[in-house]
């Protein structure tokens, strides 16, 4: 069954946690019209000595219950400063969500770019 990309969406922005220890959503998606490819980049260039963040990705494997799929703890400064979220193919109802929790230091702005491409059967 051949497929092609039906649509492509780019989401860019930034988020700043409001408190130490508070999990803040960086990026999330609801159900899509079909399965999709997701990839992205997160800039941690503002992290300085004493700053620590935890990045998490959640996926609803069954389409309804969000579960922790990946987690990484990083301490600033970071070199290279851009973290890549590799391309992954996800089910239409997987509801991916990426969060950041700053656990120490001065609250920093996290910049990001995510691209998702919804597929269709041809």
Annotated domain spans of the chain:
3-121
3-state DSSP assignment of residue 87? strand
**pTM for the structure as a whole:** 0.94
Q: Which of 103, 106, 120 lies closest to 24, judged by CA? A: 103
What's the rounded Cα separation, in Å, for the pair 61 and 12? Answer: 25
Question: Please, which pLDDT band fits residue 1 given cuts at 50, 70 and 90?
Answer: confident
Instruction: Give the percent of the chain with pLDDT over 70.
Output: 100
Cis peptide, bond prior to residue 77, ω within 30 of zero:
yes
Question: Please, which pLDDT band fits residue 45 given cuts at 50, 70 and 90?
Answer: very high
pLDDT tens for 55-94 read 999 999 999 999 999 999 999 999 999 999 999 999 999 9
Identify the architecture of domain 3-121 in CATH.
Sandwich (2.60)
What's the rounded Cα separation, in Å, for the pair 3 and 5? Answer: 7
């Amino acid at each position: 069954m051949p497929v092609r990309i039906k649509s492509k969406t780019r989401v860019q922005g930034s988020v700043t946690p409001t408190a130490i220890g508070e999990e803040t959503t960086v990026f999330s998606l609801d159900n899509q019209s079909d399965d999709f490819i997701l990839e992205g980049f997160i800039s941690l260039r503002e992290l300085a000595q004493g700053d620590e963040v935890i990045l998490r990705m959640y996926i609803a494997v069954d389409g309804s219950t969000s579960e922790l799929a990946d987690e990484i703890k990083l301490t600033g400064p970071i070199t290279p400063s851009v973290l890549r979220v590799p391309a992954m193919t996800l089910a239409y109802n997987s509801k991916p969500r990426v969060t950041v929790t700053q656990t120490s230091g001065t609250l920093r702005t996290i910049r990001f770019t995510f691209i998702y491409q919804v597929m269709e059967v041809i």
